[in-house]
Structure 1
Amino acid sequence: MHLEITVDIDAAPDTVWNLLTDVERWPDMTASINRVELLDGPLREGARARVHQPGMPAAVWTVTAFTENENFTWRSRSPGVTTTGGHEVRPGASGGSTVRLTLDQTGPLAPLLALLMGSRTRRYVTMEANGLKTKAESP
């Protein structure tokens, strides 16, 4: 399964980046996240975070790529499925920022997971993009 959500945000890229990388505050932006616990200090390559989402088991995500003020990718593994989430912030074409969130699930159980959880996963990624937009554009 591959998901991609792009949203334009009327806020400077550094503002959006700071919100996006403050993962422990994500529950303030979206109802799709109950709690995030950083397990290894600040977000950077190799850092891990435990993410709790409604109706889903907690998952530990490991940052596999991190470019300050641009993007980060993290990965979570469960039996039969590897989930990779991408987060990218870039300057918008007409000012502000453009954010692209991606989610890919691979492995032998990925098709079954997509069938069972695909609509919830799409809804959650959309909620996260819209929550980031709302928070970044708030005065």
Structure 2
Amino acid sequence: MTTDIDAPVDLLWRLTTEIDKWPAFLPTVQRVDRLDPGELRVGSTARLKQPAQASAIWTVTHLDPMREFTWETSRPGLRLTGRHLLETTGTGTRMTLALDVTGRLAGVLSALLGGPMQSSLRRESEGFAAAIR
């Protein structure tokens, strides 16, 4: 899901990486509990509760300041990788949110929940855009 947002990349980077504040403006996140102190970095972990899902522990696997934040979680038969990509444009920032699903149950999950997962990414993009207004 890619969205152009009329805001500087540093503002969106702050919103993206201050994950403990997400429940205040993202309808796709009910609760975030950071499991380690300090700024978000590779290896940082958080327990994330989303609507209609069990809580999951996500671990940051890649962080390129002002550009990309990637994290992963596992469930039986699945690995989910969430990517938050930011790119400066002439009028603001292009935000791309992606959720990759791998593992032996990935095909089943994608077939059953592909539409709702895309809808969730769209709602999340809208939440980030609304938070800067």
TM-score class, shorter: over 0.9
Question: In structure 1, what is the Cα distance between the partners aligned to 2:34 and 2:106?
Answer: 26
Question: In structure 2, what is the Cα distance between the partners aligned to 1:18 and 1:111?
Answer: 34
Report the number of matched residues: 132
% identity of equivalent residues: 36
Question: In structure 2, what is the Cα distance between the partners aligned to 1:60 and 1:86?
Answer: 15
Question: In structure 2, what is the Cα distance between the partners aligned to 1:40 and 1:72?
Answer: 17
Cα offset for 1:120?
2.0
- Aligned CA RMSD, in angstroms, stands at 1.0
Higher relative contact order (CA 8 A, sep 6+): 1
Q: 82, 99, 105: which is aligned to 1:103?
A: 99
Which one-letter code corresponds to 2:29 in the other structure? Answer: I
The reply on whether 1:119 has 2:118 as its aligned counterpart is no
Question: In structure 2, what is the Cα distance between the partners aligned to 1:119 and 1:60?
Answer: 23
Query: TM-score scaled by structure 2?
Result: 0.94
Where does 1:121-136 land on structure 2 (aligned, <5 Å)? 121-136=117-132
Cα offset for 1:117?
2.3
Question: In structure 2, what is the Cα distance between the partners aligned to 1:121 and 1:51?
Answer: 16
Q: 43, 64, 67: which is aligned to 2:61?
A: 64
Query: TM-score scaled by structure 1?
Result: 0.90
SS in 1 for 2:48: strand
Structure 2: gaps (5+ residues): none
Which one-letter code corresponds to 1:107 in the other structure? Answer: G
Q: 75, 86, 92: which is aligned to 2:72?
A: 75
Q: 17, 22, 26: which is aligned to 1:26?
A: 22
Which stretches of structure 1, 4 residues or longer, exceed 3 Å deviation after superposition? none
